[in-house]
Chains A and B, each alone.
Chain A
Amino acid sequence: MIPGGLREEVARDGETIVFVAPERLLEVMTWLKETPGQEFDYLVDITAVEFRDRERPLQVVWFLRSLTRRADLRVKVELDAAAELAVDSVWGLWHGADWLEREVYDMFGIAFRGHPDLRRILMWETYAEGFPLRKDFPLRGRFSRAEQVRQALNANPEAHYSLDELSIADAWGDIPDDMRERLKRGERGTVPE
Chain B
Amino acid sequence: MKRVVESKEVAGQSPNYLLAKFQDLVDWAVNSSRANSLWPMPFGTACCAIEFMATAASRYDFARFGMERQAFSPRQADVLICAGRLPFKLAPVIRRIYDQMPQPKWVISMGACASTGGIFDNYAMVQGIDTIVPVDVYVPGCPPRPEGLLYGVLLLHKKIKGESLFDAERRRDEQPLDEKGLRLSPAEIDEVSEPFGNSVHQFRSS
Contact = CB atoms under 8 A, between A and B. Distances in A.
Interface of A: 52, 123-124, 129, 132-135, 137-141, 144-157, 160, 192
B17 interface: no
Interface stretch (B44-52, B74-82, B124-132, B160-168): B124-132
Interface in B117-163: 121-124, 126-127, 131-132
B186 A153 contact: no
Interface of chain A, helix or strand or loop or mixed? loop
30 contacts: A123-B124, A124-B88, A132-B123, A133-B205, A134-B205, A135-B205, A135-B206, A137-B123, A137-B205, A138-B205, A139-B122, A140-B121, A140-B123, A140-B195, A140-B203, A141-B122, A145-B127, A146-B186, A146-B187, A146-B189, A148-B123, A150-B180, A152-B89, A153-B95, A153-B183, A154-B92, A154-B181, A157-B92, A157-B96, A160-B89
B120 to A, nearest CB: 10
Q: What's the interface size class on B, roughly?
A: 20 to 34
A144 B193 CA distance: 9
Contacts, number: 89
B95 A139 contact: no
A139 B89 contact: no
Given A146-B187, A153-B182, 9 more contacts: A124-B88, A135-B205, A139-B123, A140-B121, A146-B182, A146-B193, A148-B88, A149-B88, A192-B181
